């Protein structure tokens, strides 16, 4: 690439530069129309010649550029390009295929700078994001791949998020990477750093790179921000995975909370049952319950005494009668007659009677004889003890005599053991309230074979 394609020669108003006579050169590219070459590449021998002395002069505050331009260029075009008024541009007479142009800037002191708006390629337009827009949708609307849209919007933090009213750059001509020149950079350093084509860059931007400064936007054609797209895609994938991991973590935390809640409910139910059981134990040992038991025993004794007195009165009445007294024969069970298993009692529930809720659910196969707690219980018939201890009726005793089985239930203590032979009238235990019981009593049952029969039918 020749030096004639790199830049026009710029001369300051306060000095001059000497160069060899212009030599014929190839026509300039179409994008550089209006600019011609003044100083072609010098001979190597001239490069080794001593440099002229440097003369320092006081800065008078004036700033001017002397440009080599095409003969047909107009002053208004140069004024618009360099951001000055048309009166600040003076065109010198043409000299063959070129002419000199002088551009003067206002006097602003020793630190004067060119006052112009930042340069921007005309092939890059702006687009305001509308409701419902996405980055991919905008790219499709303008017939662009997403990577070309990203190449002119290198400040995008995401492939997905755009906001209504946000402004995006859209290439409508040459496509490439759009970069804003930062302090310490130059257009030429960026072109070299990115490996862009110098002539194509000048054509795409419509201005020579040497005329661009800090703050201008430089379009590097032929480049694509594929690496930046890969970064955003990797960021999107990382965000997706992080969102999935966060959702799984939230589900796990909800599950842990649910498990803790279930365990808390289980423990609360357990504590409630334990408290209820402890209240029951406390009630069993309470003085109120003991007082009720004692009152019930006294009531039972009173009723038993009243029943005995009534029975004696009836016996006396029968004895006083003129007719002979009736002889009561004891019923037989096949092994001799039965006797009542207690001396003092009160019949509270008969065979098959449904007097309480339990007897309504379970058939009552015997009779209940209420008596004070600890009253003695005697064998109603001779036989052998088949069971002695806790069983169907709390603490009970079973005796067998032939095919007949007698059951004594709900006792507080037993006085015999399994396998022992007992005689009729022998002490076998004491009245209690073990098992399912509503008060101290003896459950007496007679079974002929395996069938329960009414004890009142075989008792005297």
CATH number of the domain to which 387 belongs: 2.70.70.10
Write down the pLDDT at residue 330. Answer: 40
Mean pLDDT for all residues in the chain:
80
187-201, 310-324, 441-455: the lowest-pLDDT one:
310-324
- State the sign of the Cα–Cα–Cα–Cα dihedral 293, 295, 299, 302: positive
pLDDT band per the 50, 70, 90 thresholds, residue 127: very high
User: What would the pLDDT profile of 243-286 be if each residue is shown by its tens digit?
Assistant: 899 999 999 999 999 999 999 999 999 999 999 999 888 888 88
Phi, psi of 118 (to 5 degrees): -60, 140
The encoded tokens of residue 398 equal 């079973």
Q: Which residue has the higher pLDDT, 47 or 216?
A: 216
Contact predicate 359/396, CB 8 Å: no
Report angle CA 276, 277, 283 to the nearest 5 degrees. Answer: 90
CA distance 339 to 427: 13
CA distance 291 to 368: 23
Contact predicate 221/204, CB 8 Å: yes
Contact predicate 170/127, CB 8 Å: yes
Mean pLDDT of 135-143: 91
Report angle CA 27, 65, 74 to the nearest 5 degrees. Answer: 55
C-alpha separations of 317 from 139, 312, 320 in Å: 124, 9, 5
Radius of gyration of the chain (CA): 61
Flag whether 231 is in a domain: no
Neighbouring residues of 57: CB distance < 8 A, sequence distance ≥ 6 = 14
Domain that holds residue 394: 346-457
Flag whether 444 is in a domain: yes
CA distance 192 to 197: 8
Residue with tokens 């002069």, as numbered in its chain:
57
Q: Give the CA count within 13 Å in the CB-facing half-sphere of 398.
A: 15
Mean pLDDT of 318-335: 50
Number of domains in the chain: 2
CA distance 165 to 179: 22
Closest CA to 397 of 384, 382, 407, 410: 407
Q: How many helices (H) and strands (E) does the chain have?
A: 9, 19
The model scores a pTM over 0.75:
no
CA distance 274 to 270: 6
CA distance 203 to 120: 13
pLDDT band per the 50, 70, 90 thresholds, residue 419: very high
Flag whether 175 is in a domain: no
User: What would the pLDDT profile of 72-121 be if each residue is shown by its tens digit?
Assistant: 888 888 887 777 777 888 888 888 888 888 888 665 443 444 457 889 99
Write down the pLDDT at residue 51. Answer: 54
Mean pLDDT of 144-168: 88
The encoded tokens of residue 303 equal 């009723």
**Per-residue pLDDT for 198 more than 80?**
yes
- Residue 200: how many other CB atoms lie within 10 Å: 18
C-alpha separations of 37 from 2, 114, 199 in Å: 10, 24, 15
- Concatenated DSSP letters for 192-247? HHHT--HHHHHHHHTS-GGG--TT-EEEEET---HHHHHHHHHHHHHHHHHHHHHH
User: What would the pLDDT profile of 211-255 be if each residue is shown by its tens digit?
Assistant: 888 889 999 999 988 888 888 888 888 888 998 999 999 999 999
Contact predicate 345/369, CB 8 Å: yes
Flag whether 217 is in a domain: no
User: What would the pLDDT profile of 9-29 be if each residue is shown by its tens digit?
Assistant: 333 333 333 333 333 333 333
Flag whether 394 is in a domain: yes
Write down the pLDDT at residue 269. Answer: 93
Flag whether 21 is in a domain: yes
Closest CA to 121 of 194, 180, 184, 199: 180
User: What would the pLDDT profile of 288-310 be if each residue is shown by its tens digit?
Assistant: 888 888 888 888 877 877 787 77
**Per-residue pLDDT for 62 more than 90?**
no
Q: Which residue has the higher pLDDT, 286 or 55?
A: 286
Mean pLDDT of 332-360: 79
Beta strands in 336-454 (DSSP E): 346-349, 367-370, 376-378, 383-391, 394-401, 404-409, 411-414, 421-422, 427-431, 441-448, 451-453
Flag whether 322 is in a domain: no
> What is the distance between the terminal CA atoms of the chain, rounded to a whole angstrom?
142
Describe the strand order of the beta sheet including 427-431 as a list of residue ranges.
Answer: 376-378, 427-431, 411-414
Flag whether 400 is in a domain: yes
**Per-residue pLDDT for 210 more than 80?**
yes
Write down the pLDDT at residue 28. Answer: 38
Write down the pLDDT at residue 1. Answer: 35
Mean pLDDT of 18-44: 41
C-alpha separations of 385 from 162, 165, 245, 450, 454 in Å: 96, 102, 74, 17, 21
**Per-residue pLDDT for 131 more than 90?**
yes
State whether residue 62 is helix, strand or coil.
coil
Helix (H) or strand (E) holding 13: none
pLDDT band per the 50, 70, 90 thresholds, residue 46: low
């Amino acid at each position: 690439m020749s030096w004639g394609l790199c830049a026009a020669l710029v001369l300051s108003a306060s000095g001059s530069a000497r160069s060899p006579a212009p030599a014929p050169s190839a026509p300039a590219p179409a994008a550089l129309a209006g600019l011609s070459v003044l100083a072609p590449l010098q001979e190597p021998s001239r490069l080794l010649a001593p440099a002229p002395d440097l003369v320092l002069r006081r800065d008078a505050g004036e700033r001017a550029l002397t440009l080599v331009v095409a003969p047909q260029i107009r002053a208004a075009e140069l004024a618009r390009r360099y951001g000055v008024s048309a009166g600040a541009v003076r065109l010198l007479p043409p000299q063959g295929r070129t002419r000199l142009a002088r551009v003067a800037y206002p006097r602003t002191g020793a630190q004067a700078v060119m006052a112009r708006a930042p340069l921007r390629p005309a092939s890059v337009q702006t687009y305001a994001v509308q409701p419902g827009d996405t980055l991919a949708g905008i790219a499709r609307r303008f017939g662009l791949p997403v990577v070309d849209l990203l190449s002119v919007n290198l400040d995008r933090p995401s492939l997905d998020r755009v906001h209504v009213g946000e402004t995006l750059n859209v290439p409508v001509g040459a496509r490439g990477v759009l970069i804003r020149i930062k302090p310490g950079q130059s257009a030429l350093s960026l072109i070299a750093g990115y490996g862009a084509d110098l002539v194509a860059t000048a054509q795409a931007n419509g201005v020579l790179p040497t005329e661009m400064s800090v703050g201008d936007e430089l379009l590097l054609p032929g480049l694509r921000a594929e690496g930046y797209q890969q970064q955003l895609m990797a960021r999107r994938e990382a965000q997706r995975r992080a969102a999935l991991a966060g959702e799984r973590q939230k589900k796990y935390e909800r599950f842990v909370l649910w498990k803790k809640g279930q365990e808390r409910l289980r423990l609360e139910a357990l504590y409630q049952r334990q408290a209820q059981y402890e209240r029951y134990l406390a009630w069993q040992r309470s003085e109120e319950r003991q007082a009720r038991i004692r009152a019930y025993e006294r009531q039972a004794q009173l009723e038993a005494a009243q029943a005995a007195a009534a029975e004696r009165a009836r016996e006396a009445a029968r004895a006083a009668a003129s007719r002979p007294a009736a002889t009561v024969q004891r019923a037989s069970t096949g092994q001799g007659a039965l006797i009542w298993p207690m001396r003092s009692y009160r019949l509270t529930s008969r065979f098959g009677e449904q007097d309480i809720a339990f007897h309504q659910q379970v058939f009552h196969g015997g009779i209940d004889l209420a008596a004070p707690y600890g009253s003695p219980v005697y064998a109603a018939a001779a036989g052998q003890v088949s069971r002695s201890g806790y069983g169907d009726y709390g603490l009970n005793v079973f005796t067998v005599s032939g095919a007949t089985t007698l059951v004594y239930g709900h006792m507080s203590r037993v006085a015999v053991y399994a396998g022992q032979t007992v005689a009729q009238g022998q002490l076998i235990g004491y009245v209690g309230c073990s098992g399912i019981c509503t008060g101290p009593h003896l459950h007496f049952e007679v079974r002929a074979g395996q069938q329960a029969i009414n004890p009142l039918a075989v008792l005297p």
